[in-house]
Structure 1
């Protein structure tokens, strides 16, 4: 009787789901509107840099789900020296496998939706619609858990005395799983068309350009300061190193879990590598300096401030106290060597001298603009005393 009841419930839910599908399809075809109702439809655009990071994160989630599913397979196929538990063991493995599919569906929804901002016309809609699949997979997992509970009290099981308790609980879980699965399938349809699709389309239209603008701003800052390229290169190096380590872990054993764990590590490296695109653009013209001091030459424009100090009293320039301090520090460093700035002034003087001696002009030393600035400030300070 429980088996017939279960089949009846599944048949009823399947018929209800089919009827709902036909109803939604009819409403969709009867309604006015010329736009595409499929949020997964792609445009001809290119995914943004931020989308790459989101997609890589989705890959980590998906790979984690695959790992859990494979663990379920191992549970099902590993023989145990316990009589009467073979069926329950299979049920447990199936439940774990189905649970991993929930995580995989979540990651796939992230990657195919928000992970394709710039190429998917409605990335938010795609990700939202994928929650229907997540709900459906959850229902399947609950149903398999119900079967596990039922079989724990089956004939021949060590827990057979608990069958008066396990049978009704298992049946209830199985029925709930069927209902959740049907609800998830209905949600997947409802979220992909109609009013929900219109809302998600509006959100995508408003939010995606904002995210793109923020990404463009961080890239511009990185290129302007000269820090984008070196930091981006560092992130790429670290990410590639992590991915390489993941590849080695996956190849170190024929065990499926070892390969899956290696895959997780590899995808994490992909996330780190993808963040490098947030700081610099591949389409940027020229080759930005790889040195964090690349922004220092802009300080050479301050050398024109030496005319501010000019001649006259030290009170004529707001920089006079600073230039005087630098001049005194340099003088005391060269005479008595007791100035706390003597090592710095000596090093700068040496760097400036080396640049001049090389015969290649001021461009031969990356510190020339800085040494020239300090030299001008020191001279200015000296004239004020």
Structure 2
């Protein structure tokens, strides 16, 4: 038997097993093709960006490792992304930060414009990759004290408001050009290392600043506004202005998207448990799928129980059209293209497993109070041959099957990434 024949034989056997449970495998694969994951640009260059200021990362962010081959220019980053996309089945998006524009000279954050991202917009059209966006509220002199939109200085606060307004306009231009809404997500690092004397005042200022940013009504067919909460960060261990409760209330009262980051909560909390509750009150959700180890460490996404639970909640709640899935991790200790491939393939695989559930049957057991059958079927699903379906999906989408993708990354590292160490920018 040829490899293709072996894959097809294994797939047909798996298909029969799933059909015996009432699962239409072909329909699941067709649905999977329509669900994009938004890859994050900052994995490719260790969150350095292209402003050329030499500013340190800071603001509660840290990247560890010095693996060779980091992208140093927009063209190098785009080339690395193209390599990553070639290893991942499906059509996916790209999540850009404002610091990744193409700047010919010194351009401060309050002056960024769509023209600084024209190269990315054109590249996205050529590659069939739609873009999402984020203002960059870190790695800047006006954020050195840990405060931006909630700053006590009205001038500094206005600077960051203007940055937010500029970024919404950039996102709207991206969405218009790609004929798909660009999700524009706001996260700020604001907070205190030690106990504050007032928790109220910075939060009042943050709400006022956000209202100023969102004052202009923009076409939701072009841009969707999201706000992102966090429990704590480096330098904001005792108090984060933009807490979960703050942004949950803000998103509900202003009907914005709420961004839930898998690493932004207490280690015993999981975002899978929050999805159905939040979507009762906000129009849509943005997820930053990450993996925290002891804290918000943004490790590469692996095929964990929580990753699977996130995707199960999206499918079981019929939330696919109301949830935007993005990734957020940065690991400089391994090959950066491999990190994208590992994390994104795992996210897509977990979504496939969720789509292969007999959801109606499980929920029927639950409604009937037959918890024995519910548990039995949930446990049986864990040993179902989803890997054969996954392999067939990768083969049909023209991407490497199994670990074959790693050899392609190794060859790319030798031919392209390793050469950067000796070449000038």
Larger helix proportion of the pair: 1
Larger strand proportion of the pair: 2
TM-score (structure 2 length as normaliser): 0.22
TM-score (structure 1 length as normaliser): 0.24
Q: Which structure is richer in relative contact order (CA contacts within 8 A, separation 6 or more)?
A: 2
